[in-house]
Amino acid sequence: MVARPLVLAHRGASRVAPENTIEAFAAARDLGADGVELDVRRTADDVLVVHHDPEVRGFGSIAGQSFEVLRAARPEVPTLLEVLAECRGLLVNVEIKCLPWEPDADGSDHPVVRAVATAVRAHAPDAIVSSFDLDAVDACRTFAPELATAWLTTGQDVATAAAMAVARDHRWLHPDRVASLRDPDTGIRAAHDHGLRVDVWTVDDPDEIRMLAVAGVDAIVTNVPDVALAALA
């Protein structure tokens, strides 16, 4: 390895603090992570908040309530802008949760993607905007072509997915751990041959982290950034 891959803390340092909270993102910085991964959803009044699931346990649907109601009941759920302020200086991977079958699916004119792109452009222009919804990251490229965009994949052949991502002018591919480890040298080489950078999620095992690093992966998403950094030392 000429240089180690970047280490991004999955939903913050989620093994030492509740995931997707300000505390988790602060802990990621303290543990030496290069950046963080987070999930964005919208409230009923279109405030962007950071939470993985469409519902908050014991509260209900994020998309079904206003931000004022959510903040009063669950103050630990931060807004995207609060998190971007906390993570200033770190690389931030902003995953948009807007899949068609979810309660907060984006509309045909992509208002959520547009809102995320506007926020990232203003507050974290070096961030990566990603989604499992390829149409969503395509829309982000349209709204803010200067931003780095990434297609998240699961179970898909890395080389095949890389060809699809580059055809739509995205800069990153974010394949899952299992698919990436099937043949890391071939998949990552294919992505690099297309000019893409590769960020594999979510890898916690030190041996797997080292294997991906030797194959040349550009970044690794992990729940344990301190473990990953030690493995790469």
Q: Phi and psi of 65, rounded to 5°? A: -135, 155
Structure confidence at residue 216 (pLDDT): 97
Cα separation of 98 and 76, whole Å?
A: 22
Structure confidence at residue 157 (pLDDT): 97
Cα separation of 121 and 129, whole Å?
A: 10
DSSP string, 152-198: E-SSS-HHHHHHHHHHTT-SEEE-BHHHHHHSHHHHHHHHHHTT-EE
Domain ranges of the chain: 6-232
Cα separation of 195 and 191, whole Å?
A: 7
Structure confidence at residue 103 (pLDDT): 87
CA separation, residue 44 to residues 24, 104, 229 (Å): 25, 9, 39
Structure confidence at residue 3 (pLDDT): 85
- The dihedral built from the CA positions of residue 29, 32, 35 and 39, taken in this order, carries a sign that is negative
Cα separation of 92 and 6, whole Å?
A: 11
Structure confidence at residue 104 (pLDDT): 86
CATH for 6-232 is: 3.20.20.190
What amino acid is encoded at 222 in this protein? T
Contacts (Cβ under 8 Å, ≥6 apart) of 22 = 78, 82, 83, 86
Cα separation of 32 and 146, whole Å?
A: 28
Residue ranges of the chain with per-residue pLDDT less than 70: 1-2
